[in-house]
A and B are shown apart, each in its own frame.
Chain A
Amino acid sequence: MSAAKPRKRLATVWLAGCSGCHMSFLDLDEWLLELAQHADIVYSPVASDQKRYPPAVDIALVEGGVANSDNLALLKTVRANTKVLVSFGDCAIHANIPGMRNMLQGADPVLRRAYLDLADSSAQLPHAPGLIPELLDQVLPVHELVPVDVYLPGCPPSADRIRTVLEALLQDRRPDLSRAGEIRFG
């Protein structure tokens, strides 16, 4: 009798995105039960109560661009504690819709536009150091800040594509999405 294969430690992470990629992850439906047979979900906004990113994670799906200081700190923690980091969805891969604020060239013009120019009344810039994370000047894709192992584009990537990636990673294989023609943006 062979020893049981060790269960993978899986995390999903939500940075600056709409959570649509996570909704698509939930669209895996009954395959989620199969996933639970092979992996422990150790950190996830939709599948775990864990508040701190744990050590020794095997696979992390990272949704969203990096828009503020909290996103950046969490991403660095994720990279330091994860074997395979998947850039999950268009926001993680090229900042996508959150990145459209980059056209205003800097955090200050963005805050002024949102909180002063467009304010109906009581216009004021948010300022609560330590409580509200500071906006970075640009929303950046994940791979411009830390090394990425697998790219999974799509807005959102379909549940089928997510499954293709997870099935390969659970078996310690690199998913070959380019050959499967499954790397479409949008």
Chain B
Amino acid sequence: MSVCTLRIDDQDVAIAAGSTVLQAIRSAAIAVPTLCHLDGLSPVGACRLCLVEVEGSERLLAACVTTVQDGMRIHTNSSRLQEMRRTLIELLFSEGNHICAICVANGQCELQDLAVRVGMDHSRFSYRYPNRCVDLSHPQFGLDHNRCILCTRCVRVCDEVEGAHVWDVGWRGEHCQIISGLAEPWGAVEACTNCGKCIEVCPTGALFHKGEGTDEKHGHPGRLAALVQGRSRQELEP
């Protein structure tokens, strides 16, 4: 197995060739925020929070979808990146209808935690207040599009791990939203196995169990990595 050595924030890191820059960053215990990334799912580079500066590259690169190269010199926490990450979080908040105080995920929400982490005490962008709907057609679960940040974790977990592919991304631009089936009510999609993995990996309160009130949703994104690892070692039946 060939090894790449690279330098991340004045720290020398050696990692197997073919790894991603994000894996190298994590192996060096350097903290870089992520939102769409989840161990056990394929990376998509949707949220852009893991953007890093790579010397010799004019544009910023998303660490989760960039493969390491020998001799790379990477900066993960410049003031430019800090400012960009705060701006990204402000844009996520202003784009949807995120009212933490009355959300099922209040206190357990990755978006809410990231706002704290990037130092967002207010948004410099006016909130858009888009007109979005809530799908409660499924007997056990609900989807509130107001809280969705389009990270596509649900799309990927349903396709890659459950193999049901209930979820997809529909429409474009400001109308872009997660859809079930062919943009049908979730409850009408026969492919859904009611496994609840999408609820567990959702970073916000967009996907939830019916009956959960404010502060009552507890996601378990970490369980997914254990499941995927178990399957790869054939400890668990798919």
**A153, B122: Cβ atoms under 8 Å?**
yes
B window 94-134: CB within 8 A of A = 97, 99-103, 106-107, 112, 115-116, 119-123, 126-127, 129-131
**A93, B121: Cβ atoms under 8 Å?**
yes
CB neighbours (8 Å) of B123 from chain A are 94
CA distance A177 to B102 in the complex (A): 23
Size category, A interface: 20 to 34
A58 within 8 A of B: no
CA distance A96 to B131 in the complex (A): 16
Closest to B102 in A: A97
**B131, A178: Cβ atoms under 8 Å?**
no
CB neighbours (8 Å) of B102 from chain A are 97
Contact of B112 among A87, A151, A184 (CB under 8 A): A184
Q: Is the interface of B mostly helix, strand, loop or mixed?
A: loop
What is the total number of residues of chain B having a CB less than 8 Å from a CB of chain A? 22
Contact of A186 among B97, B101, B120, B131 (CB under 8 A): B101
CB neighbours (8 Å) of A93 from chain B are 121-122
Q: A94-B93, A102-B127, A103-B129 are in contact. Are A183 and B99 (CB under 8 A)?
A: no
Q: A96-B99, A155-B101 are in contact. Are A183 and B119 (CB under 8 A)?
A: yes
Contact of B121 among A95, A97, A153, A186 (CB under 8 A): A153
Q: How far is the CB of B158 from chain A (nearest CB, A)?
A: 28
A window 21-44: CB within 8 A of B = none
**A155, B129: Cβ atoms under 8 Å?**
no
A6 within 8 A of B: no
A window 134-160: CB within 8 A of B = 138, 141, 143-144, 148, 151-153, 155
Closest to A178 in B: B119
Q: A93-B121, A97-B101, A178-B121 are in contact. Are A184 and B129 (CB under 8 A)?
A: no
CA distance A181 to B102 in the complex (A): 21
Closest to B115 in A: A185
CB neighbours (8 Å) of A141 from chain B are 122
CB neighbours (8 Å) of B106 from chain A are 186
A105 within 8 A of B: yes
Q: Give the one of B100, B103, B106, B130 with max A CB within 10 A.
A: B100
A100 within 8 A of B: yes
Q: How far is the CB of B102 from chain A (nearest CB, A)?
A: 6
Chain A positions 70 through 104: 1 when the CB is less than 8 Å from some CB of chain B, otherwise 0 = 00000000000000000100100111110110110
Q: A97-B99, A183-B119, A186-B100 are in contact. Are A144 and B126 (CB under 8 A)?
A: yes
Contact of B129 among A105, A143, A181, A185 (CB under 8 A): A105
CA distance A96 to B98 in the complex (A): 8
CB neighbours (8 Å) of A100 from chain B are 97, 99
Q: Which 4 A-B pairs have the closest CB atoms?
A: A186-B100, A155-B101, A151-B121, A178-B119
Given contact pairs A141-B122, A151-B121, A186-B107, enumerate 17 new A-B contacts (beta carbons under 8 Å): A94-B123, A96-B99, A96-B101, A99-B99, A102-B127, A103-B97, A103-B129, A103-B130, A143-B122, A144-B126, A151-B122, A153-B122, A155-B100, A184-B112, A184-B115, A186-B101, A186-B106
